[in-house]
Structure 1
């Protein structure tokens, strides 16, 4: 044994471990085997394991599978893990066994060592609390890891992503009301179309986010169904009767989410359809956000030579070579986050399809990708809302000029003059570089008062769909 290390024993013999680390032999062995990459689980997954092991210890105590003194020490250590006290004692990357066994054992070992320390024993003793016999009692990695996947995803979705999207929806609604009477020209096929309002543009964005929230809510019920209690293959071997219900009740009380035992634990261990469904919703939300971010940055392009309809708030950043240049950096961040989520969905889809008989064996990469998607969507949406949407203004002068020059407001004349005559107006206006009003008068189709009465952009923007 070298200085600053201790020896722990497992079923395969002695292992040398840094003396100040709370992990044990299995984690140390895994460190030497899985020397791959640098991607590590986010803190939320590690801390969710603490909550999971707390609920398991409480369920084991109530079902008589764990002595009160041991259960108490495990619960205390597990709650410390849940609070983030032992994050640095999870050294493994996500590249490990497809069941997540090594991270489950990492949690078992950290909690066991800390529980023993609380009971007056040195690290590495495995007594009176054993990582497998006590911390992992009534469990298997095969049901524990997918349960943690569900719990971490649900808490991140409801506690992080949903509030961020609610905030964005509110900001978009505020802008929609603020710009309700600001007339602009719609664009279809990237070309000028008929009048609308900027308020309608932002109301469209708001409606997309309202649908995003509905999509999240639609996936939640299946995310709250947990396979805990299925143990190794779904049969519940070595788990006491009622363990799953006790576990879920404790978890529901701790989180405020209505977690419930799966009635078919084989499905929750062999397949992760609920998680793929969540990713599908995130993929759709990313698609919506990508459209919104691109529209806003294009409408704000300029300031002199672009569309310039929106005035993007200054973020204080500029070009490294062009003095004073302002870029839509916040929108670009959101766009990149959406790219990541859309790419993650492909990984999650393939991982979700990798259930071989009674066990999915791509759990680590699946939950890593899903938690990243939840995190970057939430954070980028929040920043986009606060630093960009809440500060957007419109260039009313430019919009008014665009409306005056727009050709296709004369579409409103189709029922009066017919399509062919209206086409003559637009062709003449374009060819002679005059307004469509001037063209209609020059062609003798209408006088000025008639044109102004029939082609009022503010009235046309309301349209029949808005009445």
Structure 2
């Protein structure tokens, strides 16, 4: 019994570990919500964001004359300690809970209050000197503090994701330069099309991913608008006049992000549109990334009975029964991450749609899905870059041989011998196994000199007269 302290709330008394900085409401959440296995401490950016929000709130309350300086200083210092990451272990509740985030908000309030109590020379739980509700949560509600912290965390996490994506883009671009002179066949519908270079293919990978950096950043820009001061439903009940604008200004100064107060707090409180559009940007990235991984697996297929145009780094034995087999395990795992991201986006959509009247109570699962997607994508991008892309090599002779043996190069003859003749040449080449080159010369459709020029793969890589 000496290892616990008693705290009380609406439902009565409860034992809390004596050394814990969290309190009774956090303890109830620990016992009630054993769902995902991922706690708030799994996402330190979120805990940092909670500390920043609470620091801006207490600063605003002090400036508006609602708190004495001694208490303000203690709470502000306690927020700094939370922001520093030293108390991440004191946020043990599951990311997914009922209550629209109340458990998260109270977890932050209780930890900050108990740190402040120690700074003031009082024992943990002695809330008459610093209360989680009356002082740390002053002028706030879960319904404004919680979504504001989510948005602030997402601004931090987006920077991380955009940086990881930029590194991946650079790795594909470097391969594009390395393979700039490797002639190969392009394909449409998995059939031979026209020649290109392997460099063009990898540069296209870089270009399509690069587009998503700006998409992510633009969509994350919506998170700077917050509803601090809305309190319960947006009317600002229990917050003083001017609190909303001043708190947003303080949060911008403390966090370094251009935070602004939403123009209509009643609208902003239940609105989750910014989460939906940001999640959709991640889904778009996942779709593109998965397509690239599909291509890498196809291009490296074989080695004797597939495309075998590129070699992926061998990471582990590929079979418990087939000796010598090596699988494309890195693109495979990234594919699976992309499926997870796409599925989580659907959850975000349903959670956003589930808002009712003046609040959306599904923000815990909504935020968890987005946090998880960012974490998964960051890890997947690092893994793909470090363990796959940088080590890819080209099978130059295989690529060139496919071009020389391809029927697809007949497309280049259309302007010279016409579509009908080109079709007949392609059909005959396919039926007989003979080359397009030999058939054109045999049928005297072009001179050898003309044909050598037109069918030079290098002349088919870009527009020309």
Does 1:131 pair with 2:132? yes
1:260-275 to 2 correspondences below 5 Å: 260-275=260-275
Shift of 1:191: 0.5
Change in 2 beyond 3 A, CA 1:361/1:176: same
Other-structure match for 2:143: 142
- What CA distance in whole angstroms lies between the structure 2 residues aligned with 1:328 and 1:69? 61
Q: How does 1:194-233 map to 2 (within 5 A)?
A: 194-233=194-233
- 1:308 is the counterpart of 2:308: yes
Q: In structure 2, how many angstroms separate the alpha carbons of the residues matched to 1:120 and 1:303?
A: 71
Q: 1:82 to 1:324 in 2, by over 3 A?
A: farther
Q: How many positions carry a matched residue from both structures?
A: 463
Q: Give the corresponding residue for 2:60.
A: 59
Residues in 2 aligned to 1:77 and 1:318: alpha-carbon distance in whole angstroms? 52
* Counterpart check, 1:16 vs 2:15: yes
Structure 1, 347-356 or 21-30: larger mean CA deviation: 21-30
Contact 1:319 1:326 in 2 (8 A): yes
Distance 1:322 1:79 in 2: 57
1:459 aligns with 2:463: no
Instruction: Quote how far apart the aligned CAs of 1:324 are.
Output: 4.2
Consecutive unaligned residues in structure 1, runs of 5 or more: none
RMSD, matched Cα: 1.8
C-alpha distance in 1, partners of 2:392/2:64?
58
What's the secondary structure of 2:314's corresponding residue? coil
What residue number does 1:378 align with? 378
Q: Secondary structure at the match of 1:59?
A: helix
Question: Structure 2 CA distance, aligned partners of 1:112 and 1:82?
Answer: 14
Report what 1:282 is aligned to: 282
1:207: how far off?
A: 1.7
Distance in structure 2 (CA, Å) of the matches to 1:73 and 1:37? 34
1:48 is matched with which residue? Answer: 49
Tell me how far apart the structure 2 counterparts of residues 130 and 281 of structure 1 sit (CA, whole Å).
41
CA contact (8 A) 1:425 1:443 kept: no
The separation in 2 between residues aligned to 1:428 and 1:279, in whole angstroms, is 51
SS of aligned partner of 1:8: strand
Map Cα deviations across residues 243-297 of structure 1 (whole Å, 9 max, x no partner). Answer: 3333333332343321111111222211210111100111111111111111112
Aligned to 1:418, the other structure's residue is in SS state: helix
Does structure 1 residue 183 correspond to structure 2 residue 183?
A: yes
Structure 1 residue 368 displacement after superposition: 0.3
With 243-252 and 146-155 compared, the bigger mean Cα shift is at 243-252
When structure 1 is superposed on structure 2, of 451-460 and 245-254 the one drifting more is 245-254
Q: Any conservation in 2 of the 1:176–1:200 contact (CA below 8 Å)?
A: yes
Q: Quote the offset at 1:186 in angstroms.
A: 0.7
Counterpart of 1:99 in structure 2 is 100
Query: Cα gap change, 1:336/1:229 in structure 2, threshold over 3 Å: closer, same or farther?
Result: same
Answer yes or no: is the 8 Å Cα contact 2:183–2:399 preserved in 1: yes
Any idea what the Cα deviations from partners look like across 1:15-51, whole Å, max 9, x if unmatched? Answer: 2111121111112233333344534333222232122
Contact kept? 2:52, 2:255, Cα under 8 Å: no
* Correspondence 1:27-426 to 2 at 5 A: 27-41=26-40, 42-43=42-43, 44-158=45-159, 160-315=160-315, 318-426=318-426
TM-score normalized with structure 2 length = 0.95
For the structure 1 residues 292 and 141, does the alpha-carbon distance in structure 2 shift closer, same or farther, using more than 3 Å as the test? same
Deviation at 1:123, TM superposition (A): 1.2
User: Structure 1 length normalisation: TM-score?
Assistant: 0.94
- Secondary structure of the 1:94 match is coil
Residue aligned with 1:355, SS: coil
Counterpart-to-counterpart distance in 2, 1:68 and 1:16? 32
Cα deviation, 1:351-404, whole Å, max 9, x if unaligned, reads 111211110110100000011111111221122123222222211010110111
In structure 2, how many angstroms separate the alpha carbons of the residues matched to 1:169 and 1:27? 42
Distance 2:406 2:146 in 1: 60
SS of corresponding position for 1:263: coil
- The 2-side partners of 1:261 and 1:218 are apart by 19
Worse-matched range after superposition: 363-372 or 177-186: 177-186
- Map Cα deviations across residues 125-149 of structure 1 (whole Å, 9 max, x no partner): 1131100011101110011111111
Report SS of the residue matched to 1:54.
Answer: helix
Deviation at 1:233, TM superposition (A): 0.8
1:26 aligns to what?
25
Structure 1 residue 98: Cα displacement: 4.1
Map Cα deviations across residues 159-188 of structure 1 (whole Å, 9 max, x no partner): x10101111111122222222222111100
**Higher mean displacement: 248-257 or 140-149:** 248-257
| CA shift for structure 1 position 409 | 0.8
- Which whole-Å CA distance do the structure 2 matches of 1:450 and 1:12 have between them? 91
